[in-house]
Structure 1
Amino acid sequence: MKNILRADRLKLKRSSLFTIVLLIPLLILAYELVNITYRSELVEQQVEMFGAGSMWMYLLYDNSLLFGLGFPLAVTLAASVIANIEHQANGWKQTLSMPISRGKIYLSKFVWLAISLFFSTTIFLIGMVLLGKGLAFEGDIPWGLLIGDCYGMLITVLPIMAFQFWLSMTIKNQAFSILIGSVSAIMGLFSAAAQTTRWFPLAYPIQSSTVILQYEGIGNNPDFSAFLVINLILGIILMFIGSKHFAKRNVQ
């Protein structure tokens, strides 16, 4: 398994994977920097109106929509890049001719998808801390909330990761999988806004922040743990199904 992971790492070095996973967190952090710096009066009004206990809480709440929409798009593009290395070079015949099980090949590429997205969320975590300290936010850094927001998102998108990865691996035309991922992210945004559809898996990333706007103001998200458990189980199931399907399918 180590040799497969090493071989995939060499292939990914020549791709745009890490540029993609860096782009989403950096764009969100740049937006927050501009928003807080140049719209400081409006931000202060919103902090008071939303009942945020601190600027840290406001930052977490403000990021939840952008990160919940942007991260599934990063998942879609990253999965496409990893799969397209084989599709573009017509390398499946050579790859699958090696005396290695298809399940391990599939798992190796999924591991690199997870590693790249872990890297993305870590950059986002570090960026939020630096942003808050650089703008002199008052109070202690809420490490628990920040870590929960970043790595909780990684767990919340597991079903999307598993589905988009399977789609990208089995369909050569990557425009199709990217279209499906983009539409799904937008559908998740609208699904999260309605009580009847907010428990659909596509709606989870938008709601996976550790804080949420309630009647009394911004506070802890009571459904956060449920989102993590549901998506962890669902993600593992979809990953297993995708791996089994890939192992049995004739890939050209």
Structure 2
Amino acid sequence: MRQVLRGESLKLRRSSLFIVVILVPLVVLAYELLNLTYRGEYVQKQAEMFKASSMWQYMLFDNSMLFGLGFPLAVTIIASIIANIEHQTNSWKQTLSLPISKVRIYLSKYIWLFNSLLLTTTLFAIGMVVLGKALGFEEPIPWGLLFGDSYVMLLTALPIMSFQLWLSITFKNQAFSILIGTVSSIVGLFLAAGITTRWFPLAYPSQSSTIILQYEGLGINPDLSAFVVINVFVGLMLLIVGALHFKKRDVL
């Protein structure tokens, strides 16, 4: 498996993968920097109105929707980049002719997708700490909430990861998979607003923040553990289905 992963890394070095990995957290953090710098008084009033216990808490809530939209889009683009290497060079036949099981090839691409997004969430978590300190937040750093906000997002996006990778590998035209991923990301925001539809997997990323707005103000997300369990299960099931479908195909 290590050799397969190493082979994937050699292919990905010539791609724009790492630009996307870095760009997503930078965009979200840039938005927060501008928002908290140039709209400081308004943000302070908003934090008081929402009864935020600290500016850290308000910042986590404020960027949850933006990151909830941006992260699924990052999943879509990164999955497309990883799958498109073979599509662009028409090398699927050559890849599948290697003395390696198709399931391992499929899983290697999934591992690269997961690790790339893990790096994205790590950069986001570190950037949040740096941003809060740079803006002079006086309260102690809520490490659990900060890292929870970042890595829980990764877990709640597992179904999207499994589906988008399968879609990107199955269809050569990457415009199709990117279109589906983009529309799904936007639809997820609307689904999250409904009482019943918020339990659809597409709606989870925008609800995976540790902090949500409740009737009494900002507080800990009570449904977070349920979101994680459901998404890990659904994500693994979709991964297995995708790997089995890939195994049955002769030439892509």
Give your verdict on TM over 0.5.
yes
Counterparts of 2:76 and 2:60 in 1: how far apart (Å)? 24
Counterparts of 2:250 and 2:57 in 1: how far apart (Å)? 50
Shift in Å, 1:21: 1.4
Shift in Å, 1:190: 0.3
Shift in Å, 1:245: 0.2
Shift in Å, 1:51: 0.6
Q: Residue 224 of structure 1 corresponds to which residue in structure 2? A: 224
Query: Structure 1 length normalisation: TM-score?
Result: 0.99
Shift in Å, 1:250: 2.8
3-state SS of 2:218 partner: strand
Counterparts of 1:112 and 1:204 in 2: how far apart (Å)? 22
1:16-39 per-residue CA deviation (whole Å, 9 max, x = no partner) reads 011011111100000000000000
Q: Are the equivalent residues in 2 in contact too, given 1:80–1:177 (CA < 8 A)? A: yes
Counterparts of 1:215 and 1:182 in 2: how far apart (Å)? 31
Q: Residue 150 of structure 2 corresponds to which residue in structure 1? A: 150
Q: Residue 69 of structure 2 corresponds to which residue in structure 1? A: 69
Q: Residue 101 of structure 1 corresponds to which residue in structure 2? A: 101
Question: What is the 5 A alignment of 1:56-205?
Answer: 56-205=56-205
1:125-174 per-residue CA deviation (whole Å, 9 max, x = no partner) reads 00000000000101110000011100000000000000000000111000
3-state SS of 1:138 partner: coil
3-state SS of 1:234 partner: helix
Counterparts of 1:148 and 1:251 in 2: how far apart (Å)? 41
3-state SS of 1:137 partner: coil
> Where does the alignment leave 5 or more consecutive residues of structure 1 unmatched?
none
Counterparts of 1:251 and 1:150 in 2: how far apart (Å)? 38
Q: Are the equivalent residues in 2 in contact too, given 1:50–1:218 (CA < 8 A)? A: yes
Counterparts of 1:188 and 1:35 in 2: how far apart (Å)? 24
Query: Structure 2 length normalisation: TM-score?
Result: 0.99
Counterparts of 2:181 and 2:154 in 1: how far apart (Å)? 16
3-state SS of 1:198 partner: helix
1:97-138 per-residue CA deviation (whole Å, 9 max, x = no partner) reads 001100000000110010100000000000000000000101
Q: Are the equivalent residues in 2 in contact too, given 1:170–1:251 (CA < 8 A)? A: no
Number of aligned positions between the proteins: 252
Amino acid at match of 1:137: F
Amino acid at match of 2:75: V
Counterparts of 2:101 and 2:146 in 1: how far apart (Å)? 39
Shift in Å, 1:251: 2.8
Q: Residue 212 of structure 2 corresponds to which residue in structure 1? A: 212
Q: Residue 36 of structure 1 corresponds to which residue in structure 2? A: 36
Counterparts of 2:227 and 2:56 in 1: how far apart (Å)? 22
Q: CA RMSD in A?
A: 0.6
> Where does the alignment leave 5 or more consecutive residues of structure 2 unmatched?
none
Amino acid at match of 1:75: V
Counterparts of 1:136 and 1:76 in 2: how far apart (Å)? 35
Q: Residue 51 of structure 1 corresponds to which residue in structure 2? A: 51
Counterparts of 2:138 and 2:66 in 1: how far apart (Å)? 23
Counterparts of 1:208 and 1:249 in 2: how far apart (Å)? 35
Q: Are the equivalent residues in 2 in contact too, given 1:212–1:221 (CA < 8 A)? A: yes
